[in-house]
Structure 1
Amino acid sequence: MNAFTIPTFRLPDFVSAIGRRLPQWPHSLVLVGGLNAALKMKLLPADDLLALEDKLFHVRVLDTGGEATYTYRDGLFRPVFSATREADLCFTANLSAYLQLLTRQEDPDTLFFKRELEITGDTELGLLVKNMLDAVDWPKLPNLPFARH
């Protein structure tokens, strides 16, 4: 299998300037859709999901200007369009860092220590989420270029 390497990059500043002016709710819907698909495929450890109940999560993509806020409640991830409190856990990075995480080219710890990923909020919750993502068995996913065999 040919390995494709995602370089570390930062999109031009005008991209984030435009992105911040656009509606943010689509980002929440897409992220929640992906997370709920992972639930349906039983990729996320069911035992750990209980600890996510009613927690508020925020994901910020610096160089696109995109943000997503969501929660886990009653067995599903749900978008939050107008948060009334500060997020329990917030992830902030450029697009390339998220792509490197998704493809497992880099792990969260490496990106964190290279200052390419900022994680703020509840430390214990952050560790739980990191371990949940590490436990995802990507090879179960059919025909995805980032699924390692």
Structure 2
Amino acid sequence: DLQRMWYVLDDGEESAPPEVQRAFDVVAGAIQTGGAHMKAGMPGWQVDEVARDFIVDHGYPEFMHAFGHMMGRVAHDGGTVLGPRWEKYKGTCELPVEVGNVFTLELHVVVEDRGMMSLEEDVLVTEKGIEYLSTPQKALRYLHA
């Protein structure tokens, strides 16, 4: 359960337009910030709140899903949800993050006339915080049309 972000360059482009680059930077920053805040024992909603506030504080609307979910034998393995205290999560975001849990950290923003900019990382909860299970994407990647 992993997402990476690519931008397809139009003819004559050497990099993404500023609004696309900014969206990537904000999404990646929210994931890094939420992950850095994540500690064993805290309820899932507190992790979500940090990432959600980062997105909103940077001028994007609130994303309408949880910041992350547990992973295990299947992609969505139940247990603690890193989500807001919304009815649809039925209290699962009140459950604590525990050492040994594996979570996704995922969110998106929408860039007008460009689409959804989405990124997802997988992390292991340790006694000291989190460990990324793959190299986090810190730069927007490019494809040529």
TM band (smaller chain): under 0.3
Could you say which structure has the higher helix fraction?
1
Could you say which structure has the higher strand fraction?
2
Tell which has more relative contact order, 1 or 2 (C-alpha 8 A, sep 6+): 2
TM-score, normalised to structure 1, is 0.25
TM-score, normalised to structure 2, is 0.25
